Chain A
Amino acid sequence: MKVIKKLLVLILLFVGIAIVFNHPTQAANDPESSIHGFSVDNGAYTVNWDSRRTLNVYQSGAVKGTITTYVGVAHSNFVLSNGKHVSTIMIRSIVTPKKYTYTEKVLWWTNTITEYGTADELKYTMNFGSTELMDVDPKNQPTSNTYSIGVNAGLSASTSNGGTYGGSLGISASQTFTADALKIYNLSDTSANIASTSYQYQNSVWRWNWERDSYNFYESEQKAAYAVATTSRRYVTLIIYASFNSADATPSYWQNNLTKYSDNSYYASIYV
């Protein structure tokens, strides 16, 4: 009996160990991507968030607003049936309009002017050339207060290769905004491998924010994701465009006295 008991214990122990070691690995989110608001399965992708870019928009030589942009690239560890890898470019921009003061001096006359910047448009454009553009997000103009980013190119890679050990190959993110305040336009042309998204801030919700001493949309944040299929990795140019308006007086709640318009573009080299 003792021998049988011992055998049973050993069998149970063996089964237990087997269950532990053969349990499908849970998909783990890449921690760096989580910081930037994206959810990326780090078992399926090699992820790189190695850089941030600064784009300033100027008025009269002074900074009217700043766009801080983080760019992450998730490169699929799995190969598609056509021998290509999937790279997903994740973009997160923090839009910061600024209050600025300058003096105008003409002979004996000096005038100090304070102006307030407010975001007008933020736009991303990437021309991938011969690299196949597979998916773009956000795709449509949203009608709710939240838009979600969920490129599906990673899932295609999974299907073509029999999937992975229970892990999802998806990349996702979500963004909350005031529906009236932001219009999103997908300007992409997949047949030409051009990805482009425009976020346009609407006039109807300009409102003075006393607490922050600026307009609403102070430090607004936008995200996008583009997926491409590549045979070899290379540098591609990302154009970040931003325009701002400005007012030379503190506006009332309903007033629209924004006047001066200025813009600037930034060309970044992204390794996809």
Chain B
Amino acid sequence: MHQSMYKPIAKSITFIIVLCTSILLYGCERNNVDPVQELVDSFNEDSLDFKLYYLGKDVNLLDLEVTFVTSISSISFNHLNEYTFIVINNLDGLIDFQLEELITLKTDIETYGYAFYYFGNSDFDVFHESGLLKNEVMDPSSLSFGYVREGDRYINVIGTWDITANQISNTNDLLFLELLLNEFKYQVNITS
């Protein structure tokens, strides 16, 4: 057989190898749905008197029972669930905040015993001015803070969402939900 006849065959084999490798690499997928779904189920149980108000960036929350709101003024403070959480996700930076509404929000949170969490890259100054963020400066590692009751007073919970989580979240679209529910679980356990 002439040597030139091998060329197309060699090219075809090379093409097939490259194609298979590409498919293998593209097809590799990691998912950690199971433990997150378990967490979600535990919060959806009727025995846990839990309510979550969520405002902001669209994230995968699976089938967690959530009340979505479009503004802070839409949050209801006229009922008394045992564990009520407010989450504002401003990681996409699309929400503007007014000092007055945050001062009112802080008063309502303390009056009704709600827990509050903010996720974002900005606006920490106005949250500090409102009293929701006690530190003048945000931790260098953190992109979140919470204002929650422990014992008989409110403290800040910082680092629920950190820079590392933000970096790896593109490989795990349930990471936000997992970290949020881990924090809620800690908070429920400590106050129950």
The residue from B27, B33, B158, B178 contacting A268, defined by CB atoms under 8 A apart: B158
Give B164's nearest chain A residue, CB to CB.
Answer: A264
Tell me the A52-72 residues at the B interface (CB within 8 Å): 52-56, 58, 60-63, 66, 68
Tell me the B153-192 residues at the A interface (CB within 8 Å): 155-160, 162, 164-165, 168, 171-172, 175, 178-179, 182-183, 186
Does any Cβ of B come within 8 Å of A23's Cβ? no
Does any Cβ of A come within 8 Å of B28's Cβ? yes
The residue from B35, B137, B156 contacting A235, defined by CB atoms under 8 A apart: B137
Does any Cβ of B come within 8 Å of A35's Cβ? yes
Does any Cβ of A come within 8 Å of B135's Cβ? yes
The residue from B35, B158, B164 contacting A56, defined by CB atoms under 8 A apart: B164
The answer to whether A102 and B31 touch (CB under 8 A), given A63-B178, A269-B139, A271-B135, is yes
Give B28's nearest chain A residue, CB to CB.
Answer: A106
Pairs across A and B, CB under 8 Å, 17 listed: A54-B158, A54-B159, A54-B183, A58-B164, A61-B32, A61-B172, A100-B35, A101-B32, A103-B29, A105-B30, A106-B27, A106-B28, A235-B136, A266-B139, A266-B142, A266-B159, A271-B136
The answer to whether A268 and B141 touch (CB under 8 A), given A32-B151, A54-B183, A103-B30, is yes
Total contacts A to B, CB within 8 angstroms?
Answer: 112
CA of A213 to CA of B71 in the docked complex: distance in angstroms?
Answer: 42
CA of A268 to CA of B157 in the docked complex: distance in angstroms?
Answer: 12
CB pair A104–B159 under 8 Å, yes or no, is: no
Does any Cβ of A come within 8 Å of B140's Cβ? yes
Interface residues as binary, A28-52 with B (CB distance below 8 Å gives 1, 0 otherwise): 0000100100000000000001111
Chain B residues whose CB sits within 8 angstroms of the CB of A105 once the complex forms? 27-31
The answer to whether A53 and B29 touch (CB under 8 A), given A61-B171, A61-B175, is no
Give A235's nearest chain B residue, CB to CB.
Answer: B137
Interface residues as binary, A97-112 with B (CB distance below 8 Å gives 1, 0 otherwise): 0011111111100001
Give B137's nearest chain A residue, CB to CB.
Answer: A269
Q: Interface residues of A, CB < 8 Å — how many?
A: 36
The residue from A49, A100, A268 contacting B32, defined by CB atoms under 8 A apart: A100
Does any Cβ of B come within 8 Å of A77's Cβ? no
Q: Interface residues of B, CB < 8 Å — how many?
A: 40
Interface residues of A (CB under 8 A from B): 32, 35, 49-56, 58, 60-63, 66, 68, 99-107, 112, 235, 237, 264-269, 271
The answer to whether A54 and B157 touch (CB under 8 A), given A101-B34, A237-B140, is yes
The answer to whether A104 and B29 touch (CB under 8 A), given A56-B165, A235-B136, A269-B135, is yes
The residue from A68, A107, A267 contacting B23, defined by CB atoms under 8 A apart: A107
When A and B form their complex, which 5 residue pairs have the shortest distance between CB atoms, in order from nearest? A61-B172, A267-B140, A102-B32, A54-B159, A105-B29
Tell me the B17-37 residues at the A interface (CB within 8 Å): 23-24, 27-35
Counting chain A CB atoms within 10 Å of each CB, which of B33, B135, B139, B150 scores highest?
Answer: B139
Chain B residues whose CB sits within 8 angstroms of the CB of A103 once the complex forms? 29-34
Chain B residues whose CB sits within 8 angstroms of the CB of A100 once the complex forms? 32, 35
Chain A residues whose CB sits within 8 angstroms of the CB of B30 once the complex forms? 60-61, 102-105
Does any Cβ of A come within 8 Å of B138's Cβ? yes
CB pair B139–A62 under 8 Å, yes or no, is: no
CA of A221 to CA of B124 in the docked complex: distance in angstroms?
Answer: 31
Chain B residues whose CB sits within 8 angstroms of the CB of A50 once the complex forms? 134, 155-156
CA of A101 to CA of B157 in the docked complex: distance in angstroms?
Answer: 27
Chain B residues whose CB sits within 8 angstroms of the CB of A60 once the complex forms? 30, 32
State the Cβ distance, A242 to closest chain B Cβ, in Å: 12
The residue from A53, A61, A63 contacting B158, defined by CB atoms under 8 A apart: A53
State the Cβ distance, A109 to closest chain B Cβ, in Å: 9
CB pair B137–A61 under 8 Å, yes or no, is: no
Give B171's nearest chain A residue, CB to CB.
Answer: A61
Chain A residues whose CB sits within 8 angstroms of the CB of B24 once the complex forms? 106-107
Chain B residues whose CB sits within 8 angstroms of the CB of A52 once the complex forms? 150, 155-158
CA of A112 to CA of B135 in the docked complex: distance in angstroms?
Answer: 43
The answer to whether A265 and B32 touch (CB under 8 A), given A51-B156, A54-B159, is no
Give B151's nearest chain A residue, CB to CB.
Answer: A35
State the Cβ distance, A54 to closest chain B Cβ, in Å: 4
Chain A residues whose CB sits within 8 angstroms of the CB of B35 once the complex forms? 62, 99-101
The answer to whether A269 and B162 touch (CB under 8 A), given A58-B168, A61-B168, A100-B32, is no
